[in-house]
Structure 1
């Protein structure tokens, strides 16, 4: 059987419009930018490198974020059109031999390496489609096998991202209720919970 290769695809392009225009990738979390935290989570969970898609304040993010050698930072000039453009930019930048991508949102600091490990453990081949579940509710991260990439490229638009794919195919749910928290950072009211000023 061919070796399974799953890089993280970290979506980090958002401008944080509901956060007063603070790019989420640069929010300070535990002494480092939130994007660094997401990349470290993916690495500690066992991902084979990462592709991080930047958008808002991309030049500043590149200047302030330390990324490992196996992490590729990709600019998405179309980021204001929605998450789908970032997903497509990330897919185009995945390394050869990728059997699946672990899609991780930069604004979910409660996702842990253990949740990443559990999703990777569910990967057996390029036809896989899996998502972390919390008390039975599907959330992030999501593992998308390479066999689904063509459908994703054909259907991802606006802010829907992979929604059409996930709605049209069986998705294996991987319970992460005891391992992570899927909540995202969207508004100033969310920041104190994560210790972000």
Structure 2
């Protein structure tokens, strides 16, 4: 059985933060502040603690609130030019940006509303990725049978999505078409799926949480 060595070109992460946050009261969930930092800042810190230095953030609405945070985190800004805030269009923007600017680099994709992910969660997933079978081009964490984030794609998978003429079908479509090349791993940890979707979810967070102001 062939196993892959860690990619010499490394791993780049993209955080999808282009939603409307309508169920949260129409606020950018990545900008929610927890213990003096935004969710976005905590995610970037955790990623960099796991050795993922190349980070981009897809932003759609709420650019006034999110663009300064992206700059503060020293991450790359990727604009979702679509009028839609559906995750599909964020995925499209993420894949196109990665394919254009990070040739040969594997890709980690995560949602911007997962505040419970910490460095050890990313380290665990990265170790699994580096030790995967050579036929595996996608890795998806699971928690109690529910698909989670971040998911990881090989450069080959990114290239296939970008060059197939089906970029507009998104990552989920590739996962469905390529099940033999995707490893679904039960992580036994709710942090991979535990988001903040409605105001009541903030009660789960340890420490004060503050919603951003939107004019």
1:63 paired residue number: 68
1:3 paired residue number: 8
2:45 paired residue number: 40
Question: Secondary structure of 1:131's partner?
Answer: strand
Highest CA radius of gyration, 1 or 2? 2
TM-score, normalised via structure 1 length? 0.83
2:203 paired residue number: 192
Query: C-alpha offsets along residues 38-61 of structure 1, whole Å, 9 cap, x if unaligned?
Result: 211211122141011111111331
Question: Secondary structure of 1:77's partner?
Answer: coil
2:148 paired residue number: 139
- Per the TM alignment, residue 102 of structure 1 is displaced from its structure 2 partner at its CA by 0.9
What are the residue-to-residue correspondences of 1:1-197 with 2, within 5 Å? Answer: 3-65=8-70, 66-68=72-74, 71-78=75-82, 80-94=84-98, 95-124=101-130, 128-153=137-162, 154-155=165-166, 157=168, 161-170=170-179, 171-178=182-189, 180-194=191-205, 195-197=208-210
Distance 1:175 1:46 in 2: 23
Distance 2:126 2:20 in 1: 29
Distance 1:40 1:64 in 2: 13
Unaligned runs of 5+ in 2: 211-215
Bigger relative contact order, structure 1 or 2 (CA pairs below 8 A, ≥6 apart): 2
Distance 2:9 2:144 in 1: 29
CA contact (8 A) 1:7 1:49 kept: yes
Residues 9 and 77 of structure 1: is their aligned pair in 2 closer, same or farther, counting only changes over 3 Å?
A: same
- Per the TM alignment, residue 101 of structure 1 is displaced from its structure 2 partner at its CA by 0.8
TM-score, normalised via structure 2 length? 0.77
Tell me the matched-pair count. 193
Q: Give me the CA root mean square deviation.
A: 2.5
Residues 150 and 84 of structure 1: is their aligned pair in 2 closer, same or farther, counting only changes over 3 Å?
A: farther
CA contact (8 A) 1:84 1:156 kept: no
